[in-house]
Amino acid sequence: MVADPEEFDMNDLAQLPAEIDDHLAIFCMATYGEGDPTDNAAEFYQMLIDQELDLSNLNFCVFALGNKTYEHYNATGRYVNKRLIELGAKCIHPMGEGDDDANMEDDFITWKDEMWPKVCEFFGLDATGQDINMRQYSLTELTNPDPNKTFTGEITRLKSHLPDKQRPPFDAKNPFMSRVLVNRELHKGGGRNCLHIELDITDSKIRYDAGDHVAVYSCNNPELVEGLCSMLGKDPDTVFMLTNLDEFSSKRSPFPCPCSYRTALSHYVDITSPPRTHVLKEFIQYASDEKDREQLVLMTSTTDEGRAAYQEWVVKSARTVSHVLEDLPSCRPPLDYLCELLPRLQARYYSISSSPKEHPSSVHVTAVVLQYETLTKRINKGVATNWLMARQPTQDQQYTVPIFVRKSQFRLPIKSEVPVVMIGPGTGIAPFRGFLQERDVAFKRGMFSPRLTYCNISY
């Protein structure tokens, strides 16, 4: 089994060997922030710290995901691997490490190709099998869908975005629909936009500290959604379902279903990131032109030439899935399969640029709007910042944004008299604005709070 901490009761790990003789638990553990586990792994991670489980009969492997530019590179995966061994579990293959600053997918493929022969040897299996393309979900298109049972962008529960359905606590699975109070452009002229946004958290029971992050669920550009549907010959308003072929799986569908193709591509599917090699590999069977097929085969190979071709043609050229299909015109995979293959559209995290001591009922965001020209002369736009920029409240038009707050370890010293030097070397002033507000409040209360801020500002 592949163990997802969010889908399984990890306390059952000790019972797994008794239930499945030839078992293998594979943990893919990502690290973020100051060496912290991701939200869906936090409970499992804490359980490993707190409990002394007997895992002497558990077989496992770990692949850690991180970024070498951060101080605590792959700290979560390394701890999980070490702790499982301490609890008696048997590591079938050495832990793999993926570096997102290089090519994490290549790191995983290299580790996987070395891991499976070891696994087969351990279980006495033949390791000479061939790759088989198998779909995980079956498609059903609904002719008369019930609007009351059709998702329109909710993260989990139907109609959870409606005001009368909002219930705390608010988190990644239950975001708060925050009203946009202020959306102001900070740059007067120049070649780029920078936004100051204030989000209302009144009556939400959301609490935050200066230095925390606010997560925003945004939507893909409607023009990109329409273009992809048109290219693949689908009516964007057709309602469909993807149902897991494994009836015992706890994950019934890759995202909330049923929904329309428009909803799936707008709210649930990442259509703007460069597609990974495993996605391109699935495209091969749908390319009717020999040259298009050869290009896909090359880019999905594990040779140095293939990796270089993928980096140059996809990554460096910042091609999205739409760009790939535009430039390989004979390749037309089914849209529902594309929805299955592509990753989920993730929340975007922003450093909160306010202090609750000065703004207890609102969260502030300071963000540069991403837009750039690619090597193919296309214009790519950041998903969330461009979506937020369009949400300009007026007297006649109000907007809401799905948000939740993620705690951070980035904090001011507890004692306000401790001097602080804040340096933003081109990485943004957002969290320091919140810290400055904290110190201003302390100063107004008669506390001496020396601070000095350096930042790199573009004009």
Q: What is the pLDDT of residue 133?
A: 66
Q: What is the pLDDT of residues 349-382, one digit of tens each?
A: 999 999 999 999 999 999 999 999 999 999 999 9
Q: What is the pLDDT of residue 290?
A: 98
Does residue 333 contact residue 293 with C-beta atoms inside 8 Å?
no
Q: Please state, for a pLDDT cut of 70, what percent of the chain lies above it.
A: 93
Q: What is the pLDDT of residue 306?
A: 94
Q: What is the pLDDT of residue 249?
A: 78
Q: What is the pLDDT of residues 245-262, one digit of tens each?
A: 988 777 899 999 999 999
Q: What is the pLDDT of residue 420?
A: 87
Q: What is the pLDDT of residue 423?
A: 83
Q: Which two tokens stand for residue 427?
A: 């990485």
| b/e sequence 45-69, b meaning 16+ C-beta within 10 Å | beebeeeebebeebbbbbbbbbbee
pTM score of the predicted model: 0.86
Average pLDDT for the chain: 91
What is d(CA 432, CA 267) in angstroms, rounded to the nearest whole number? 31
Picking from 255, 250, 197, the residue whose alpha carbon sits closest to that of residue 384 is 197
Among 156-170, 338-352, 415-429, the range scoring the smallest mean pLDDT is: 415-429
Per-residue confidence band for 452, with pLDDT thresholds at 50, 70 and 90: low
Q: Please state, for a pLDDT cut of 90, what percent of the chain lies above it.
A: 72
Looking at residues 13-39, what average pLDDT do you find? 87
Looking at residues 401-430, what average pLDDT do you find? 86
Looking at residues 217-236, what average pLDDT do you find? 98
Q: What is the pLDDT of residue 427?
A: 63
Whether omega for the bond prior to residue 431 falls within 30 degrees of 0, making it cis, is no
Whether the pLDDT of residue 454 is over 70: the answer is no
What is the maximal distance between C-alpha atoms in the chain? 75
Looking at residues 194-222, what average pLDDT do you find? 97
Q: What is the pLDDT of residues 65-114, one digit of tens each?
A: 999 988 899 999 999 999 999 999 999 999 999 998 888 888 998 899 89
Q: What is the pLDDT of residue 244?
A: 94
Whether the pLDDT of residue 451 is over 70: the answer is no
Whether the pLDDT of residue 64 is over 90: the answer is yes
Looking at residues 195-211, what average pLDDT do you find? 97
What is d(CA 258, CA 29) in angstroms, rounded to the nearest whole number? 30
The larger pLDDT score, comparing residue 146 to residue 450, is at 146
What is d(CA 392, CA 413) in angstroms, rounded to the nearest whole number? 36
Looking at residues 216-245, what average pLDDT do you find? 98
The larger pLDDT score, comparing residue 416 to residue 118, is at 118
Per-residue confidence band for 129, with pLDDT thresholds at 50, 70 and 90: low
To the nearest 10°, report the CA torsion of 117, 121, 125, 128.
30
Looking at residues 382-409, what average pLDDT do you find? 96
Whether the pLDDT of residue 130 is over 90: the answer is no
Q: What is the pLDDT of residue 1?
A: 55
Q: What is the pLDDT of residue 459?
A: 47
Looking at residues 273-297, what average pLDDT do you find? 97
Residue in the block written with tokens 């709070």: 449
Domains for the chain: give ranges and CATH numbers. 10-123 (3.40.50.360), 141-153+220-341 (1.20.990.10), 163-216+347-406 (2.40.30.10), 420-455 (no CATH)
What is d(CA 239, CA 147) in angstroms, rounded to the nearest whole number? 10
Whether the pLDDT of residue 158 is over 70: the answer is yes
Whether omega for the bond prior to residue 169 falls within 30 degrees of 0, making it cis, is yes
Per-residue confidence band for 233, with pLDDT thresholds at 50, 70 and 90: very high
